[in-house]
Amino acid sequence: MRHGAGVGGLILGAALAVATGCWGRGGQTSGRDVVTPLLQQEAEALKRDGERLDPVLRVKATWTIAGIDVTERPGDPDQPWTGAIRFRIRSEMRDEQGVATADEFDRRFDYVYNASLKRWIFQLQPSPAP
């Protein structure tokens, strides 16, 4: 009997060690596999908000995600990642006669990942010098 309990305890201990090891790897807050989906969510929110325009303006915008870039910043534990979301935006406007004009342009949004907040923070571009 006693031998069986020892084997059961050994199996339970091994299972806990494996579970703890997996939890430690999965619980990382700064791994690329963790931060990239968060930046993808930011891109989806920008797309959704960018395409939601006032119909009175008669402008329709289509935001296409052209790319999401995530770059590691070694040696910076507070902001270990930078990210960029690139869009191709097509805007179409109709005048009073119903004639449509379209314009396409690229837009980039830069972010930095804040490790303590566990989220991406939008980075404003500096204003051009006058």
Q: Is 17 within a domain?
A: yes
Question: For 59, phi and psi rounded to 5 degrees?
Answer: -120, 130
pLDDT per position as a tens digit, 25-35: 344 445 999 99
Residues 6+ away with beta carbon under 8 Å from 69: 83, 84, 86
Alpha helices in 1-130 (DSSP H): 2-26, 32-51
Longest distance between any two alpha carbons in the chain, whole Å: 91
Task: Kindly report the average pLDDT of the chain as a whole number.
Answer: 80
In a domain, 128, yes or no: no
Report how many domains make up the chain. 2
At residue 68, does pLDDT exceed 80? Answer: yes
Per-residue model confidence as pLDDT tens digits over 87-97 = 999 999 888 88
> Is residue 129 situated within a structural domain?
no
Give the structural domain span for 102.
31-123
- Do residues 66 and 11 share a domain? no
State mean pLDDT over 25-51.
Answer: 85
Q: Specify if 130 maps to a domain.
A: no
Distance (Å, whole) CA 124 – CA 84 = 12
Residue 73: CB atoms within 10 A of its CB come to 13
Same-domain status, 48 and 110: yes
Q: Are 3 and 46 part of one and the same domain?
A: no
Mention every residue, 6+ apart, whose C-beta is less than 8 A from residue 59.
Answer: 53, 91, 92, 93
Q: Is-contact 130 45, C-beta < 8 A? A: no
Residue 18 and residue 58 in one domain: no
Identify the pLDDT of residue 30.
57
User: 40 and 72, same structural domain?
Assistant: yes
